[in-house]
């Protein structure tokens, strides 16, 4: 078993066995190549077990967070079908380790995006609709003591996502200055705007499209793209009721465990 295969197995085991120490015994904090190799090993493993890819997520879209990790670009992870929580649904705390939540703009694609030079305009032309989204992130790395390589190897620290029920064509939407308010149990816990997402959600999606096309795995029609956080993420506690409101896109919500 190679070092990368061993790390992939370590991360898979953490889903049931609990969070593990950072992966620095094998991956340097800035080892993007090795980290994506680990992610790819687990992606292949899960596909062989019957999971289905429904899209991709972009992470590290905040310039401040990029500086924190000493990188100059976002990262990405894979969205599987069993990560999709229905709008208004209930997420079991038993399935999570140390979850956090953030509000995002999601895009659903009508066409493939295969260009190595894909632009924001190309993404707009390929988009069927935009929708308000919540991403529940989680880390298999203990206490969230992650480096860039840790989060990449760990599938972008992904867990679950929720899509709102209001679908909007991009025409007439202002995804740059649209405001976001994230509430937990009726209290405002995070605010932000579209510009916080790498300058514009379409810019983040274009980066993703170029990166995946260069890797020979382009975005495809029907894919869901989570474009990145519009404001700070917040930790979840059992019983929390989460609601996000995004200007022009509407609302999206879920509950973390039993709220009765």
Task: Please list the residues that pair with 80 across neighbouring strands.
Answer: 53
How far apart are the C-alpha atoms of 68 and 66, rounded to whole Å?
A: 5
pLDDT band (50, 70, 90) for residue 1: low
pLDDT tens profile 123-159: 999 999 999 999 999 999 999 999 999 999 999 999 9
Per-residue pLDDT at 82: 97
Q: What is the mean pLDDT of residues 12-36?
A: 95
Average pLDDT over residues 173-185: 97
> Is the confidence at residue 41, as pLDDT, over 80?
yes
Q: What is the reported pTM?
A: 0.96
pLDDT above 60: residue 260: no
Cα(87)–Cα(81) distance, integer angstroms? 14
Query: Can you give the pLDDT at residue 63?
Result: 80
Domain ranges, ordered by start, for the chain: 3-256
| Model pLDDT for residues 51-88, shown as the tens digit of each residue | 999 999 999 998 877 777 777 889 999 999 999 999 99
Q: Which CATH architecture has domain 3-256?
A: Alpha-Beta Complex (3.90)
Using pLDDT thresholds of 50, 70 and 90, give the confidence band for residue 259. Answer: low
Q: What is the pLDDT of residue 65?
A: 77
Question: Strand runs (DSSP E) across the chain, as ranges?
Answer: 53-59, 75-80, 84-85, 90-91, 100-109, 127-137, 158-163, 179-184, 187-193, 224-229, 234-235, 240-246, 250-256
Q: What is each CA distance from 41 to 2, 190, 206, 211, 253, in whole angstroms?
A: 11, 35, 25, 18, 32
Q: Tell me: the pLDDT tens digits for 87-128?
A: 999 999 999 999 999 999 999 999 999 999 999 999 999 999
Residue 151 exposure: Cα atoms within 13 Å on the Cβ side: 23
Read off the pLDDT of residues 197-244 as tens digits, 9 standing for 90 and up: 999 999 999 999 999 999 999 999 999 999 999 999 999 999 999 999
**Angle subtended at Cα 158 by Cα 198 and Cα 165, rounded to the nearest 5 degrees:** 75
> Across residues 34-41, what is the average pLDDT?
97
Give the per-residue pLDDT at 71. Answer: 79
């Amino acid at each position: 078993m190679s070092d990368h295969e061993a790390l992939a197995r370590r991360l898979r085991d953490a889903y049931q066995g609990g969070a593990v120490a950072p992966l620095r015994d094998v991956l340097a904090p800035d080892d993007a190549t090795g980290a994506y190799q680990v992610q790819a090993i687990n992606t292949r493993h899960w596909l062989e077990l019957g999971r289905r890819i429904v899209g991709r997520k972009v992470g590290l879209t905040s310039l401040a967070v990029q500086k924190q990790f000493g990188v100059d670009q976002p990262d990405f992870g894979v969205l599987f079908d069993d990560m999709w929580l229905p709008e208004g649904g209930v997420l079991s705390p038993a399935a999570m380790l140390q979850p956090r939540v953030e509000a995002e703009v999601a895009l659903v694609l009508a066409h493939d995006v295969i260009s190595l030079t894909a632009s924001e305009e190309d993404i707009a032309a390929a988009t069927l609709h935009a929708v308000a989204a919540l991403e529940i992130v989680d880390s298999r790395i203990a206490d969230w003591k992650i480096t860039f390589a840790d989060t990449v190897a760990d599938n972008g620290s992904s867990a679950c996502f929720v899509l709102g029920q209001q679908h909007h064509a991009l025409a007439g939407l202002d995804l740059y200055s649209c405001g976001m308010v994230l509430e937990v149990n009726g209290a405002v816990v995070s605010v932000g705007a579209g510009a916080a997402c790498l300058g514009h959600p379409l810019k983040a999606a274009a980066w993703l499209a170029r990166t995946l096309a260069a890797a020979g795995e382009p975005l495809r029609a029907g894919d869901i793209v989570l474009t990145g956080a519009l404001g700070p993420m917040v930790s979840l506690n059992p019983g929390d009721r989460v609601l996000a409101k995004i200007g022009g896109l509407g609302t999206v919500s879920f509950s973390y465990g039993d709220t009765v």
